[in-house]
Structure 1
Amino acid sequence: MRTGPPRSRRALVLLVWLAALLAGVAVISRTHFSADLTAFLPASPDARQRVLIEQLQTGVASRTLMIGIEGGKDAVQRADVSRALGKAMRASGLFDQVQNGDNSDWQEAGSFVLDHRYQLAPDITPERFTVQGLRDAIGDTLSMLGTPAGNIVKPLLERDPTGETQRIAEGLIPASSPRTEQGVWVSRDAPRAMLLAGTKASGSDLDAQAIAIARVQAEFAKATQALGADAPKLLMSGAPVFSVTSRDQIKGEAIQLATIGGIVMSGLLLLAFASPRALVIAVLPVATGVVGGTTAVALVFGEVHGLTMGFGSTLIGETVDYAIYYLIQARGAAVPGTGWQRWRDLNWPTVRLGLLTSVCGFAALVFSGFPGLAQLGVFSIAGLVAAAVATRYGLPVLAPDGATGMGMRGLMAKAAGAIVRGLPRLRWVFVVLGLGAAGLVAWQGGTLWRANLSAMSPIKQAASDLDAKLRDDIGASDGRTLVVIQAPDEQAVLRATEAAGARLEALVERGELTGYETVTRMLPSVEAQRQRIASLPDAVTLRTRLAEATAGGPLPAARLEPFIADVEKARTLQPITRADLADGPLGAVINALMYERPGGGWSALIALHTGDKFDPVRLAAALSPMPEVQVVDVKHELDSLYTRYLHEAFVQVMLGALAVVVLLGLYLRSGRRLLAVCQPLALAVLLTLGGMALLNVPLGILHLVGLLLIVAVGSNYALFFDQLQETGRADEDTLASLMLANLTTVVSFGLIAISDIPALSAIGRVVAPGALLALLLSAAFVRAKSAELQAK
């Protein structure tokens, strides 16, 4: 008597299955895992959105660390630790700039600025070297001798009586720089020393960012190891910290959810089957689905997002259903070893149709235009197909007659039978509740879908508050508005930046900006440098004009021969290039404000310091005549992105739902049966939405994904009840399998609902109640051919 498929076929199936799993594991082991939330931004952005995405991924903000040294014994101790930490960070080679108010590394840069002041100073024009221009400039410089700046001006007086070096230095000081105490930056209102650092690694290279952060922590530990209980504590924030923390949290949550979910599912399956062997068999399609989904994403996208892996935990809830259906429904064959054939003939078509409806639904995500969402779609489709194929061909080899033990399945079948008999009486109650939910959702309208992109981030409020505090201490530029200049080459972007800076000066004069930082203060365009050098008079002319300009004044022309020599020397200098500044501290600042774009060409960033009168509309108007300049309101663009994101997701989900209905119609070939299957699914979605609206939960993209999952999971229940309706009797094993499958789904998504990652908890909070409703409503809307559907 044959027990299961032929032996040769069993060996082939197991060999192919094992080989596929090993190949998938090999691919996964070489795959890069990311946690960059810009994966959930559009793949085809417009011009402003492209600028924003580049800045979020590789811009200076994505590489900037803000560091606080808080508490400790006193300000002297904090300053010593700050200097030690800054020195170690500079020596590490991991940072292109480390600023903490300690200017010892800028002495060489100061000499460079002095030697090249006539190329760098913005006021160098022919008018400045007329008799009146010289008289005014020298008078301004002499007036500074009685001020705190006099100690800097006096040593340079004979070489730089017009004060160009001082003006350049003033331009390099940020408009809202931190307060200085004990020679280092400190907070304005807290016992805290401050440092600002930019990593050399790109903001999207999270492994390198993690190494840089760990190095800061290690160097701080070294700097404070001898201080004992009086040691200050380290605070860190900035985009690198957020990115690395998010990745680690997502990774940890994914592992934790998979572990807890696996333990809970194992416990439920053991109770249901009372068989460790059945438990192991049931888990195999789940593992196959997760490996298959991850492998597919890695091959299609080249990397796997952490949220996609977290989403893999949700597959446990549906892929385990396939194994449950088989292990229970293949039981009780009249001829031992043929249960798999009966299941294949009677139940597999229903499971296969449920699989196809799920694939149609998730296909909507694949074509959404958002890489992150497309990853979820590919992962789900590949995972479900792999699990279903493993169930269809692999489980008959391992358990030809399903699971042998009864466990609690008898109780489940009785409970399911009671539900099947009782719920149809409540059909109209559900309809009325559904109408009420529809009315509530319609009344709230668009306000129901008010979540934003930040709602997907796992960053805690405390971390956001710390970031705001350190940013205020540092006096960082306004990160809400970006001014980005794009051009095909370095000189073109420098010329455009100079032109933009000239327009921003008008806003500074009106008090709308307190200042701005631009690369051209350290690296003017070659054209601007040549114009400035051309403004310098020869030695004879300058000497004559100086004599007239200083006549009767406190600074005689005879003392200014060093000034005349420097001007004459400057007339022969070659223009400064980026390469000339690459090795000094100015080079680090230049690299932060000007960079080669990943797609070709160059970009420069102007960092704004806004005043109380700042108006982004007037800023955009001031720069609008310049097509090379993009003014990006970060909040507005992110909100616009999310609105587009949500709209496209709605369209794709509607198309997916339509595809599901068409597929069901083609299979069922009956309007009555199609309505019977679709009614409970639509009502489950409506009631879930109504519950969210009643609880005033702001809904977003991932809640929409959750609604799609309700349809994907619930279609299996509705189709099985349709099958039972057509036969007129519900056998015990089918009812038990539905009850157990729903229980595992609700529990697995319930665990996800309590996750600390908003993106995952959003899905869990929608699917857990929605899946339960889908089962109950499928039972409520069943209409048996007999007077009442009876369990055997």
Structure 2
Amino acid sequence: MDLLARERLVRQRWGIRAAWLVLALAAALFCAWRFAASSPLQTNLLELLPETEADPVAEKAVDTLAAALGERTVFVVTSRDAGHAKTAAVDLAAMLTASGAFRSVTAKLPPFDLSQIGTLYLPYRFGLLTPADRAALTDGSLTLHDALARRLYNPLRGGLATPLADDPFGWLEHWLAALPLATSNLDIEDGLLVAHRGDATSVLVVATLPGSAYETKVEQAVLRAVSRGDAQLRTQFPDVSLARTGAVFYAQAARSAAERDVHLIAAVSVFGIALLMLWIFRSPRLLALGFVSTALGIVCALAATLLVFGKLHLVTLVFGASLIGEAVDYSIQYFVVYLGAARSTRERWNPWRGARAVRPALTVALTTSLLGYAILACVPFPALRQIACFAIVGLCAAFASVLTLLPALLPHAPKRDSRRLFDAAARLLASWQRCLGGPRAWLVAALLLIVSAPGWLRLSGDDDIHLLVQRDASLAAQEQTIRVAIGVDNTAQFFVVRAETPEIVLQRAEALGVALDRLGDTQSTGGWQSVTSFVPSAQRQADDRTLLAHRVFDDPAALRATLIAAGFRDSVADAWLAAYRQSANAGPLTLDRWLAAPWSRPFRHLWLGATDTASHGYAAIVIPQRVTDANRHSLEAVAHASSGVVFVDKAASVSKLFGEYRAYSMIWLAGALVLVLLLSMFRYGLHGGATVMLPVLLAVVVTLAVFGYARIPLNLFNCLALMLVLGVGSNYAVFLREGCVRDGADLGAVWTGVLLSAATTLLSFGTLGASSMPALHSFGVTLALGIAVSALLAPIGMPAHSRRTA
């Protein structure tokens, strides 16, 4: 080679190195900038879930409730000594307030004038009747004289008592007493919200966050504050226990679990792969270059995912750590060709010729892998789409770096001859091929099918939502303790009521409430929350006013005489009658007036308001107090029979979607198998393509059988992992087949690369099986089993007469 040509090659090598360096720096700087500004990591478990409702308003309702509950953090201080519980609760509130981690902390209730509630409803009192008062007036079971006497001589008056002059018959007082302002076991004692269960006293402390529960800074500040507060309480009051719940604690627990998984998977993968590559290649330089290629793939994948999605879920990060094993496969195949050159072509080693030699095998391998991940991208789960994006970009970057950067970094022939290792591998391959190859391949396939068939018959499915997310057991136990203590059965199931106008929404919500109240004892919800409990529809208010007009105010003179006979002064009776006449001009109580009242804030989530649909309608939420397996079907039937009403159960919807996509995924898997088979036949001919695909097909068959024999229910993530078994597992037979048709290839070196690739992939994907995230655990177990079987059966794909070229 003349001097000019050598200089041109040197410039080319340095140009390629510089281009990859610029790309790596740009991707790394972009990632650093995104993490420096505000952490793009997502810990919100709801972000993992797809939009399962066909009605976008239902999804808005889910988001509204999540937002309403997300900023709220609840603590319950419990002790058998009531005094200790109350004092500890006050001290805890003071410590949390002083920490600055919360926007507000409430233990002692601020003074509140309950008359503010009565003041809102007073001008509209002649259109507000409870169902009991309405029924009594309708059927005449209670005369006005008896109602007045009961009102005058009733010694028990609630906190929302109304003046006799404004409400002589007590109808407004009954209405106010029926408001669902408190639906728990809590009572007010010494200005605190207290619940008594047996000999234990529990005191409620409520705090609100200064920002999102899923922001890292908020999580860390809250965790530090609560840890310090809990430690001080244990020191001062050893008999006191503290339970806590809130989205911020679940988010922090999920973040910690994911970070542990990332560290474990990355450490095991990197350390294990490094040991294997050093043992096989005996070259720290090749080890470093292999990780350079993998690191380029991961940093490019990270930058692309942040660019496309703006956020990065921790599930994606955990899965990305496991991608190390697959991405390093490409560099391993190049190193095998590189070391194989030492046997006979040391002086004539051409790095670009080596890249061209390995390119067909890597291209086929990349294509099958991308097919598997592309199907993940089509599934409507945000986390899976992020994983697919991360993997596709990462593998493409690793592939490109192997074919361009590694030749630029390995211009000279290897100094070490791996003859002994490759010869041993060639003998092992020859022996194993004699057992599996040729006509025996179909016999092996038939035997595996026969052995696997009983396992298939034992297969079952499990589509529970907890396969996607698993809440921290300690936090779940504390949440249950809080629910039991305060008597609130929090539920994620509710009704969404829609209509063209707010008035029709209220009317439909009222009709829904009547239908729910009619359910039998076993089907009963135990009550419900609705905006109509605070603001009846204008039609209902008009009907109540009409009822009063016919039953009470039809004879003003007789009514006035009844009031005076009961002891009311003339001026009081006349003022009340005048208020009735004037109320006709006031109009009904409106939603806007109620929403404007400060005390309505805890209940505003019940009104969704205007929706962003084409019909420009309105919507509200009705929340049943108790939803069980016994009454769920009845609630769905009530919603189906009610106009404009849908029953929303996010967990059930996601589980149903899991089941549907699990069934679809098997169809997708069959279609992908056919597609890859056609590609293989195009490349290797009819018989060659079939034998190349046989190992991975048998791997899928065996994996399903193992799950059946082990009585492990299949879920969506097992099925989707089989797509990756197809994409990754088919590579090994492809590598061997390409080695057989490549001039000058050393099959012992190729088999060494296949075993090393399988081992590194098992190290990375296999560690997913130890993940605390159920979805990733399912992925890992399935991938590990499928890839192991694919690698062991890979020699089936070799031509019947293969020999190692020296």
**TM-score bracket for this pair, using the shorter chain length:** 0.7 to 0.9
Instruction: Please state if 1:58 is matched with 2:64.
Output: yes
Residue among 488, 491, 514 paired with 1:479: 491
Distance 2:594 2:690 in 1: 73
Instruction: Please state if 1:178 is matched with 2:190.
Output: no
Residue among 371, 377, 386 paired with 2:397: 386
Quickly say closer, same or farther: Cα 1:120–1:736, change in 2 above 3 A.
farther
**Per-residue deviation, 1:316:** 0.9
TM-score (norm 2): 0.83
Residue number in structure 2 paired with 1:395: 406
* Uncovered stretches (5+) of structure 2, i.e. residues with no partner: none
Instruction: Please state if 1:346 is matched with 2:383.
Output: no
Residue among 369, 372, 383 paired with 1:358: 369
Quickly say closer, same or farther: Cα 1:38–1:552, change in 2 above 3 A.
same
Q: Higher mean Cα deviation, 313-322 or 577-586?
A: 577-586
**Per-residue deviation, 1:440:** 2.6
**Per-residue deviation, 1:189:** 5.4
Residue among 429, 434, 451 paired with 1:424: 434
Quickly say closer, same or farther: Cα 1:623–1:418, change in 2 above 3 A.
closer
Contact residue 243 and residue 479 of structure 2 kept, 8 A: no
Distance 2:229 2:481 in 1: 26
**Per-residue deviation, 1:519:** 1.4
Instruction: Within 5 Å, give how 1:284-363 maps onto structure 2.
Output: 284-331=292-339, 332=341, 334-336=345-347, 338-363=349-374
Distance 1:430 1:566 in 2: 94
Quickly say closer, same or farther: Cα 1:765–1:106, change in 2 above 3 A.
farther
Residue number in structure 2 paired with 1:591: 604
Instruction: Within 5 Å, give how 1:146-225 maps onto structure 2.
Output: 149-150=156-157, 152=159, 156-173=163-180, 177-180=184-187, 182=189, 183-186=192-195, 188=197, 191=200, 193=202, 195=204, 206-207=213-214, 211=218, 214-215=221-222, 218=225, 221=228, 225=232
Residue number in structure 1 paired with 2:279: 271
**Per-residue deviation, 1:620:** 3.8
Residue among 480, 486, 505 paired with 1:468: 480
Counterpart residue type for residue 424 of structure 2: K
Distance 2:64 2:423 in 1: 57
Instruction: Within 5 Å, give how 1:281-680 maps onto structure 2.
Output: 281-331=289-339, 332=341, 334-336=345-347, 338-401=349-412, 404=415, 410-411=420-421, 414-415=424-425, 417-422=427-432, 424-425=434-435, 430-431=444-445, 433-445=447-459, 447=460, 449-477=461-489, 479=491, 481-488=493-500, 490-507=502-519, 512-525=524-537, 528-529=540-541, 544-550=557-563, 573=586, 576-578=589-591, 580-582=593-595, 586-596=599-609, 599=612, 601-610=617-626, 615-634=631-650, 636-668=652-684, 670-680=685-695
Distance 1:244 1:405 in 2: 50
Quickly say closer, same or farther: Cα 1:361–1:720, change in 2 above 3 A.
same
Instruction: Please state if 1:12 is matched with 2:19.
Output: no
- Alpha-carbon displacement from aligned partner over 1:351-398 (angstroms, at most 9, x marks no partner): 111111212222222223443333322222221111100111011111
Instruction: Within 5 Å, give how 1:713-724 maps onto structure 2.
Output: 713-724=728-739
3-state SS of 2:526 partner: strand
Residue among 762, 780, 792 paired with 1:776: 792
Quickly say closer, same or farther: Cα 1:454–1:511, change in 2 above 3 A.
closer
Counterpart residue type for residue 763 of structure 2: V
Instruction: Within 5 Å, give how 1:235-274 maps onto structure 2.
Output: 235-239=243-247, 241-274=249-282
Contact residue 717 and residue 774 of structure 1 kept, 8 A: yes
Instruction: Please state if 1:710 is matched with 2:713.
Output: no
Counterpart residue type for residue 197 of structure 2: R
Counterpart residue type for residue 263 of structure 1: F
Counterpart residue type for residue 483 of structure 1: F
Contact residue 512 and residue 615 of structure 1 kept, 8 A: yes
Distance 1:184 1:782 in 2: 75
Contact residue 753 and residue 765 of structure 1 kept, 8 A: yes
Distance 2:656 2:178 in 1: 35
**Per-residue deviation, 1:151:** 6.4
Distance 1:563 1:540 in 2: 11
Contact residue 742 and residue 775 of structure 1 kept, 8 A: yes
Contact residue 41 and residue 641 of structure 1 kept, 8 A: no
Number of equivalenced pairs: 779
**Per-residue deviation, 1:699:** 1.8
Contact residue 3 and residue 336 of structure 1 kept, 8 A: no
Residue number in structure 2 paired with 1:22: 25
- Alpha-carbon displacement from aligned partner over 1:526-546 (angstroms, at most 9, x marks no partner): 555566567777999887344
Distance 2:113 2:520 in 1: 27
- Alpha-carbon displacement from aligned partner over 1:111-139 (angstroms, at most 9, x marks no partner): 53564561783348799699976434324
- Alpha-carbon displacement from aligned partner over 1:747-768 (angstroms, at most 9, x marks no partner): 2222221121212221111122
3-state SS of 1:630 partner: strand
Contact residue 69 and residue 194 of structure 1 kept, 8 A: yes
Distance 2:89 2:280 in 1: 62
Counterpart residue type for residue 674 of structure 2: L
Residue number in structure 2 paired with 1:76: 83
3-state SS of 1:30 partner: helix
Quickly say closer, same or farther: Cα 1:633–1:727, change in 2 above 3 A.
closer
Counterpart residue type for residue 587 of structure 1: S
CA RMSD of aligned residues (A): 4.3
Contact residue 106 and residue 207 of structure 2 kept, 8 A: no
- Alpha-carbon displacement from aligned partner over 1:10-34 (angstroms, at most 9, x marks no partner): 2322222122223333443437332
Distance 1:34 1:695 in 2: 35
Distance 1:611 1:476 in 2: 13
Percent of counterpart pairs with the same letter?
22
Contact residue 740 and residue 798 of structure 2 kept, 8 A: yes
Distance 1:100 1:635 in 2: 33
Contact residue 257 and residue 751 of structure 1 kept, 8 A: yes
Distance 2:282 2:7 in 1: 22
Counterpart residue type for residue 516 of structure 1: W
Counterpart residue type for residue 682 of structure 2: L
**Per-residue deviation, 1:680:** 0.8
TM-score (norm 1): 0.85
3-state SS of 1:747 partner: helix
Contact residue 496 and residue 645 of structure 2 kept, 8 A: yes
3-state SS of 1:320 partner: helix
- Alpha-carbon displacement from aligned partner over 1:143-195 (angstroms, at most 9, x marks no partner): 641xxx33658773444332234323432247851243745232635846254
Contact residue 368 and residue 648 of structure 1 kept, 8 A: no
Contact residue 597 and residue 603 of structure 1 kept, 8 A: yes
Contact residue 737 and residue 797 of structure 2 kept, 8 A: no
3-state SS of 1:207 partner: coil
